[in-house]
Structure 1
Amino acid sequence: MARNKKIIVLVGASGSGKTTVGNELTKHGIVKLVTTTTRPPREDEVEGIDYYFIGKADLDPHHFLEVTCYNGYHYGLSLKEIKSALDKHELVHLAMDKNGAKAMKTEYPDQCLVIFFIISEEEMIRRMKMRGDCQEAIEERVIYRHMTNEEARPEDADFVIENNDLDQTVQQILDFIDKNK
């Protein structure tokens, strides 16, 4: 794999804007890596675009860079998805948790750029309410945040940003990527 290929890993708590920023990066020509999940699709999610949806029995951890469990469902990035995307594209992106980012950084140290989004608990709750999450899901996410220390910057983060203005955030990330190609 060529050294100049980059995997942009967006990390942050629920509601930090990872998906929204990722969608904007896609509009700028940076291809999204699609992760796999055992949870059922939400009403607006599309197979192969938002996630690959599979049954729990079909999940073979050996085919994934790492697999994480949240809320009783498994999420993972397949090795096949990474290889296929990097064979075709110079820049790719995805959202992951800290463990996924660490696994990606370990496996692809020269290609991986970890971008960590800072978000206060209050802002996280506000954004989750705005996107329509139910109170129970929000409470579970707050508990998860505390249990995992999700708001703490990962030691392998290459760039830390507070996502308060989408256009400004995206531009800062694009500038950061340009400097690190």
Structure 2
Amino acid sequence: MIRPKIGLDWDDVTAPFNSIAIDMANKKYNITPPLELEDIDSWENTGRASVIKEFYRDNTLYERQKPTVETKRMIRKLMDIGEVYFITAVAPGFMGVRASQIMEAFPDFPTENIILGNAKNLVQFDIILDDAIHNVLETPATYPVLMRKPWNSKMTGLLSVNNITEFVYLVEQIINASLYRNKNIKNPSVVALVGPSGSGKTALSDSLCAMEQFENPKTYCTKPGDKHRYLTEEEFNAQDFFEKTRYAGIQYGTKMEDIEAVLEKGHFVVMPLDMCGAIAMKRHFPTVIVYVARDKELLIRDIIEQDYSIEEKTLRILSIDAEKRNRQICDYAVNNMDVGAATRELADVLKNMQL
């Protein structure tokens, strides 16, 4: 994949949308307490924030939609490495407005690459970025990517990013992985273990960290337990994390100083992560991304045996097939049917890959 075809959504991906509608509703109705983006907890938006829907057909909302300077810079970077399209669902009466928005923000963007309409699943791309779960699940794209928003926060297993900058790094990882595999790593470096729920990432991490050269700094998490440092949602949101993600409605975060402290010892940092977290690591530290593979039957059995809620178990099981797709963009894959054998294999591989 030398120059992938990339399909980008507009509303709440390239330019703000719901946040503007919320601001308009708060000002018009003096809502107490004021609406926040987090009040939209589903795509249907049937809760207290449903009042914002009246502004979806207000010209003022569209006039206020402006991509940030950083977003413009990142999309131009995407245009350098791929063939970029805007594919956006918009009411018929606003199609002309939407096309004008795009051309105003990106004067050099090819007009033939602007696709307006709802049938996104009929267009073939290599990579797409969208905030609607149904668009991501139904697309024929090889790599569908979800832009994380409150209304899709419980969805797990999909390739996902928190912002357009993370998406650019993910696209670069996809391109690089399709052309070559990482054959060498620096010592020390980060070993990012990715894979479906139930693949044994934590067990493999613990087994590796029983060896002298490997260490697993605890991450921060909004779910009580002994695997992470527990923080309430309020405490978590007040922290300065360089990498954070949401998985099955639970927030996870990592602090840069915790990683640096381990690397300064000359040890490998071993961390179970999702692909979003692994890409974030690769942006900041020498990192090898390892896919942890396991038979689907064992994945499901492990999830069922865990102390998860029924909803969380369901989401994790539904995500298995989507997460298996991540194997193609990892630097190495290890079969974790036997954690001892997988530990020895991975330790040997990392030793042989060192520069």
Q: How many residues align?
A: 168
Are 1:86 and 2:263 an aligned pair? yes
Are 1:27 and 2:232 an aligned pair? no
- The residue identity in structure 2 corresponding to 1:52 is R
Indicate conservation of the 8 Å contact 2:197/2:317, yes or no.
no
In the aligned structure 2, how far is the partner of 1:126 from the partner of 1:60? 33
Q: 1:6 aligns with which of 158, 169, 189?
A: 189
TM-score with structure 1 setting the length: 0.82
Equivalent positions of 1:1-150 (< 5 A) are 3-29=186-212, 30-41=214-225, 45=226, 50-60=227-237, 63-108=240-285, 111-131=286-306, 133=308, 135-145=310-320, 149-150=322-323
Cα offset, 1:134, TM superposition? 5.5
Structure of greater Rg: 2
Cα offset, 1:116, TM superposition? 0.4
In the aligned structure 2, how far is the partner of 1:63 from the partner of 1:93? 21
Indicate conservation of the 8 Å contact 1:119/1:151, yes or no.
no
Cα offset, 1:132, TM superposition? 5.2
Cα offset, 1:99, TM superposition? 0.7
Indicate conservation of the 8 Å contact 1:61/1:67, yes or no.
no
TM-score with structure 2 setting the length: 0.44
- The residue identity in structure 2 corresponding to 1:25 is L
Greater RCO (CA < 8 Å, at least 6 residues apart): 1
Provide the secondary structure at the position in 1 that maps to 2:224: coil
Indicate conservation of the 8 Å contact 1:22/1:94, yes or no.
yes
Q: Comparing both structures, which one devotes a greater share of its residues to helix?
A: 2
Provide the secondary structure at the position in 2 that maps to 1:28: coil
Output the aligned Cα RMSD: 2.1
Cα offset, 1:154, TM superposition? 4.5
- The residue identity in structure 1 corresponding to 2:304 is K
Cα offset, 1:136, TM superposition? 4.1
- The residue identity in structure 2 corresponding to 1:103 is A
- Cα deviations across residues 107-148 of structure 1 (Å, max 9, x unaligned)? 22xx211110123433211122344556543212123345xx
Tell me which residue corresponds to 1:153: 326
Indicate conservation of the 8 Å contact 2:191/2:270, yes or no.
yes
Indicate conservation of the 8 Å contact 1:22/1:32, yes or no.
yes
Identical pairs, percent: 24
Tell me which residue corresponds to 2:339: 166
In the aligned structure 2, how far is the partner of 1:16 from the partner of 1:101? 16
Report which stretch shifted further, 56-65 or 10-19: 56-65
Provide the secondary structure at the position in 1 that maps to 2:326: coil
In the aligned structure 2, how far is the partner of 1:107 from the partner of 1:154? 22
Cα offset, 1:53, TM superposition? 1.0
- The residue identity in structure 1 corresponding to 2:215 is V
Tell me which residue corresponds to 1:175: 348
